[in-house]
Chains A and B, each alone.
Chain A
Amino acid sequence: MDFEDTPEEAAYRAKVRAWIEANKDALPDRDHGSRAESVAAAKKWQARKYEAGYVGITWPKAVGGQGGSAMQQIIFNQEEAKYNAPTGLYAIGLGMCIPTVFSHALSPEIAQRYVPVAMKGEEVWCQLFSEPAAGSDLAGIRTRAERDGDDWVINGQKVWTSGAHLSDFGIVVTRTDPNVPKHKGLTMFIVDMKAPGVEVRPIKQMSGGSEFNEVFFTDVRIKDTHRLGEVGEGWKVSLTTLMHERLAVGGKPASAPGVKEMIELAKAIDFAEGSALEQSHVRISALSSGRTPGPESSISKIVIANNMQDMGAFAADLCESAGLMMGDDAPDLPHLTRFQTSYIGSAGLRIAGGTDEILRNIIAERVLGLPGEIRPDKDIPFSEATKLGL
Chain B
Amino acid sequence: MNFQFSEEAEALREQARRFLEDRSGREKARAVMTADSGIDRDLWAEIVALGWTALRIPEEHGGLGLSVLELCVLAEEVGRVVSPVPFTSSVLLATEALIAHGTDNQKAKWLPKLADGSAIGTVALAEGTATPGTRSKVKIVDGKATGVKVPVADAKVADFIIFSGADGLYLVETGASGVTMDGVETIDLVRLSARVTLNNAAVEPLNGGQAGLEHFLQSAAVLLAFEGLGGADAAMEMALGYAKERVAFGRKIAGYQAVKHRLADMYIKNQLARSHAYYGAWALLTGANELVQASAGARLAAMDAYQFAAEENVQLHGGIGFTWESDCQFYYRRARLLTLMLGAKAHWADVLVRALEQRNTMMAA
Question: Cβ of B131 and Cβ of A320 under 8 Å apart?
Answer: yes
Question: Cβ of B319 and Cβ of A321 under 8 Å apart?
Answer: no
In chain A, residues 119-140, which have Cβ atoms closer than 8 Å to a Cβ of chain B? Answer: 130, 133, 135-137, 140
Chain B proximity of A67: nearest CB distance (Å):
37
Question: Cβ of B315 and Cβ of A324 under 8 Å apart?
Answer: no
In chain A, residues 299-337, which have Cβ atoms closer than 8 Å to a Cβ of chain B? Answer: 309, 313, 316-329, 331, 333
Which residues of A have CB within 8 Å of B322? Answer: 205-206, 347-348, 351
Given A204-B323, A324-B193; A344-B332 close (CB under 8 Å): yes
Question: Cβ of A321 and Cβ of B250 under 8 Å apart?
Answer: no
B135 in the interface (beta carbon within 8 A): yes
Q: Pick the contact of A377 from B126, B128, B250, B340 — CB < 8 Å?
A: B250
Given A317-B340, A320-B126, A333-B129; A351-B249 close (CB under 8 Å): no
A177 in the interface (beta carbon within 8 A): no
Question: Cβ of B186 and Cβ of A160 under 8 Å apart?
Answer: no
Question: Cβ of B315 and Cβ of A355 under 8 Å apart?
Answer: yes
Given A325-B185, A351-B319, A378-B250; A206-B340 close (CB under 8 Å): no
Given A130-B319, A320-B126, A350-B315; A390-B251 close (CB under 8 Å): yes
B345 in the interface (beta carbon within 8 A): yes
Q: A269-B129, A329-B184 are in contact. List 14 more A-B contacts (CB 8 A).
A: A135-B318, A206-B322, A316-B340, A317-B345, A320-B131, A324-B126, A324-B337, A344-B187, A347-B321, A347-B322, A347-B332, A351-B322, A357-B259, A378-B250
In chain A, residues 342-381, which have Cβ atoms closer than 8 Å to a Cβ of chain B? Answer: 343-344, 347-348, 350-352, 355-357, 360-361, 373, 375-378
Which residues of A have CB within 8 Å of B323? Answer: 203-206
Chain A proximity of B346: nearest CB distance (Å):
6
B205 in the interface (beta carbon within 8 A): no
A-B interface pairs (CB < 8 A), number: 159
8 smallest CB-CB distances across A and B, nearest first, come from A377-B250, A321-B126, A204-B324, A390-B250, A317-B344, A137-B248, A329-B184, A348-B322
B314 in the interface (beta carbon within 8 A): yes
Question: Cβ of A326 and Cβ of B185 under 8 Å apart?
Answer: yes
B contact residues, total (Cβ < 8 Å): 52
Residue contacts A-B, CB under 8 angstroms, 27 given: A135-B318, A136-B318, A137-B250, A160-B319, A204-B323, A206-B322, A206-B328, A208-B324, A212-B319, A270-B129, A316-B336, A317-B340, A323-B340, A325-B184, A329-B185, A329-B195, A331-B128, A333-B129, A343-B336, A347-B321, A348-B322, A351-B319, A351-B322, A355-B318, A360-B258, A385-B250, A390-B250
Given A323-B344, A325-B186, A377-B250; A206-B319 close (CB under 8 Å): no
Question: Cβ of A321 and Cβ of B127 under 8 Å apart?
Answer: yes
- B-side residues, CB < 8 A to A, are 125-132, 134-135, 150-151, 184-188, 193, 195, 247-251, 256, 258-259, 307, 311, 314-315, 318-319, 321-326, 328-329, 332, 336-337, 339-341, 343-347
Give complex CA distance A325, B128 in Å.
9
Q: Pick the contact of A390 from B247, B256, B336 — CB < 8 Å?
A: B247
Question: Cβ of A281 and Cβ of B346 under 8 Å apart?
Answer: yes
Question: Cβ of B346 and Cβ of A317 under 8 Å apart?
Answer: yes
Which residues of A have CB within 8 Å of B346? Answer: 279, 281, 317
Give complex CA distance A281, B322 in Å.
31
Chain A proximity of B123: nearest CB distance (Å):
12
Chain A proximity of B184: nearest CB distance (Å):
4
Chain A proximity of B32: nearest CB distance (Å):
16
Give complex CA distance A322, B184 in Å.
11
Question: Cβ of A206 and Cβ of B326 under 8 Å apart?
Answer: yes
A159 in the interface (beta carbon within 8 A): yes
Chain A proximity of B234: nearest CB distance (Å):
17
Give complex CA distance A21, B157 in Å.
55
Which residues of A have CB within 8 Å of B251? Answer: 375-376, 390
Give complex CA distance A351, B132 in Å.
34
A298 in the interface (beta carbon within 8 A): no
A340 in the interface (beta carbon within 8 A): yes
Residue of B nearest to A331 (CB): B128
Given A272-B135, A347-B311; A340-B187 close (CB under 8 Å): yes
Q: Pick the contact of A313 from B126, B128, B329, B336 — CB < 8 Å?
A: B336
Q: Pick the contact of A136 from B130, B134, B248 — CB < 8 Å?
A: B248
Give complex CA distance A326, B314 in Å.
21
- A-side residues, CB < 8 A to B, are 130, 133, 135-137, 140, 159-160, 203-206, 208, 212, 269-270, 272, 279, 281, 309, 313, 316-329, 331, 333, 340, 343-344, 347-348, 350-352, 355-357, 360-361, 373, 375-378, 385, 389-390
Chain A proximity of B148: nearest CB distance (Å):
11
Which residues of B have CB within 8 Å of A205? Answer: 322-324
Question: Cβ of A324 and Cβ of B249 under 8 Å apart?
Answer: no
Which residues of B have CB within 8 Å of A352? Answer: 319
Give complex CA distance A376, B247 in Å.
12
Chain B proximity of A267: nearest CB distance (Å):
12
Which residues of A have CB within 8 Å of B185? Answer: 325-329
Which residues of B have CB within 8 Å of A269? Answer: 129
Given A203-B323, A320-B129, A385-B250; A351-B315 close (CB under 8 Å): yes
Give complex CA distance A130, B248 in Å.
12
Which residues of A have CB within 8 Å of B250? Answer: 137, 375-378, 385, 390
Give complex CA distance A270, B137 in Å.
13
Which residues of A have CB within 8 Å of B134? Answer: 272
